[in-house]
Amino acid sequence: MKAVVTGGAGFIGSHLVEELIRQDFNVHIIDNLISGKYDNIHPLATLHIEDICSDKAKQIILDEKPDVVFHLAAQADVSRSIQDPQYDADVNVQGTINLLEACRDASVNKFIFASTSAVYGNLQKELITEQDLTLPVSYYGLSKLTAESYIRLFHYLYGLQYTILRYGNVYGPRQTPKGEGGVVAVFLERLKKGLSFNIHGDGEQTRDFIYVKDIVQ
Ligand SMILES: NC(=O)c1ccc[n+]([C@@H]2O[C@H](COP(=O)([O-])OP(=O)(O)OC[C@H]3O[C@@H](n4cnc5c(N)ncnc54)[C@H](O)[C@@H]3O)[C@@H](O)[C@H]2O)c1
């Protein structure tokens, strides 16, 4: 089996690549290394340093004809999305459309998308389900929700099979303090430097956390 993993040099993507290789997949990574690192790349994976918005990224999928595409590459910084909604949409919406067109044309069997619980916005509920209202309060949440809608339409119009996973706050090795859900990495970095933690608000707020290996599974 052959897989393309976009964002395979990043935090979650690199763990996914490791597991796919353990399961004997032939893995191709598309990553422009904007936040991903060479050090995260599995030696048995083929790295293509390309932007997901480019024609070259499209061509890689057309040439490789993978069985499955895991799409994790993203502008995943919530604050940056507020500062630069245009860039956020370029990567998360246009980039996803670019890959979807390639998957349609290459007859890829399945498209698996890394979405986010940020699509729900500030929903005040103990337990959130797929049926709950989506009302993003960041451009990041909005661009991911929009990408989800494009995926559904590619399925409706062309039969492209898909799975959308809305992750909570993911933590684990190789996480950087920059991305979504980075509080564990932020605290660990400060701990390493012997610094105290900055608690925002009254400290009573809660988040849901999930370990990166559980996401991969
Ligand atoms: N970390 C979390 O808690 C969390 C929560 C919900 C959803 N997600 C989603 O999971 C996915 C992976 O997140 P992560 O935490 O591993 O982030 P990350 O920043 O470590 O990984 C993203 C990867 O995408 C690459 N990339 C970014 N823009 C690109 C572009 N235009 N072209 C090619 N490559 C590009 C980066 O270089 C990086 O390797 C993202 O789609 C993110 O939105 C993450």
Q: Which atom of ligand 1 is nearest to the CA of 171?
A: 3
Q: Does the Cβ of 181 fall within 6 Å of ligand 1?
A: yes
Is pLDDT at 207 greater than 90 in this prediction? Answer: no
What is the model's pLDDT at position 215?
97
- Per domain, the residue ranges of the chain are 2-170+208-216
What would the pLDDT profile of 181-198 be if each residue is shown by its tens digit? 688 998 888 899 999 988
Is pLDDT at 42 greater than 90 in this prediction? Answer: yes
Report CA(107)–ligand 1 centroid distance (Å): 25
Active site residue 150: no
Tokens of 99: 């890959």
Classified by CATH at the fold level, domain 2-170+208-216 comes out as: Rossmann fold (3.40.50)
Average pLDDT over residues 62-66: 98
- Label residue 179 by pLDDT band (50, 70, 90): low
What would the pLDDT profile of 128-145 be if each residue is shown by its tens digit? 999 999 999 999 999 999
**Which of 120, 139, 140, 167 is an active site residue?**
140
Q: Which atom of ligand 1 is nearest to the CA of 118?
A: 6
Report CA(41)–ligand 1 centroid distance (Å): 14
Distance CA 128, CA 2 (A): 34
- Label residue 180 by pLDDT band (50, 70, 90): low
Q: Does the Cβ of 73 fall within 6 Å of ligand 1?
A: yes
